Amino acid sequence: MLLYVDSKFVSPYAMSVFVCLREKGLRFDVQTVDLAANEQHEPMFASTSITQRVPTLVHDGFSLSESSAISEYIDETFPGLSLYPADPRRRARARQVQAWLRSDLMPIRNERPTLVMFYGVKMPELSAAARTSADKLYSASHALLGDQSQDLFGQWCIADVDLASMLNRLILNGDPVPPRLVSYASQQWQRPSVQMWVNQSRPTL
């Protein structure tokens, strides 16, 4: 298997797929794509990735992009640790969380880029729009987690990594985040498969 990721290792979506592969105990190679140089649009990669995006996974001649689609493919194709809850409703909720985090909260994504998480870059104070998005994120996270669980559904799943990543955009910048969510995100961040991505060797900015 071959996983294409961004050359700076800052894509939270590439990280999510990387973690899936590690959690399944699968062997794979990593190939980087320089997005700043528009390598994703060059013919060789474009012929592999229909959407010309990372992450893209190539397995036995089959190529697939879009991280949540890749995660589901990995879970349904390979044995080992389940990446999604077994219960249909919980599994649907996990997919809802993934879809939401990829399609909403744009002010947070714009004002707290993943350079904050992986390069330690500090950003200025949040705008009013981003604070509104942050409040929405906190409210949804509290509702999903409840009072006790350190995982979304009482047992780890890949949606935990995605939610922790969004929270850590704020936490690692030093923004005020409710302690319950700081504890949750910090624990998720220490998972060995996540730390393998966090500790990747990155080019200087």
Domain boundaries, the chain: 2-82, 88-193
Q: What is the fold of 2-82?
A: Glutaredoxin (3.40.30)
pLDDT at 146: 86
End-to-end CA distance of the chain: 29
Nearest to 11 by CA among 55, 41, 48: 55
Q: Helices in the chain by DSSP H: which ranges?
A: 12-23, 43-46, 67-77, 88-103, 106-111, 115-119, 128-145, 158-171, 179-189, 192-198
* DSSP codes joined into one string, 69-95: HHHHHHHHHS-SS-SS-SSHHHHHHHH
State the pTM of this model: 0.96
Could you give the CA distance from residue 54 to residue 83 in angstroms, rounded to a whole number? Answer: 20
Q: Is 173 exposed, middle or buried (0-12, 13-18, 19+ CB in 10 A)?
A: buried
pLDDT at 1: 97
In this structure, how many other beta carbons lie within 10 angstroms of the beta carbon of residue 72?
Answer: 19
Tens place of pLDDT for every residue, the chain, 205 residues?
999 999 999 999 999 999 999 999 999 999 999 999 999 999 999 999 999 999 999 999 999 999 999 999 999 999 999 999 999 999 999 999 999 999 999 999 999 999 999 999 999 999 999 999 999 999 999 999 987 778 999 899 999 999 999 999 999 999 999 999 999 999 999 999 999 999 999 999 8
Q: What is the fold of 88-193?
A: Glutathione S-transferase Yfyf (Class Pi); Chain A, domain 2 (1.20.1050)
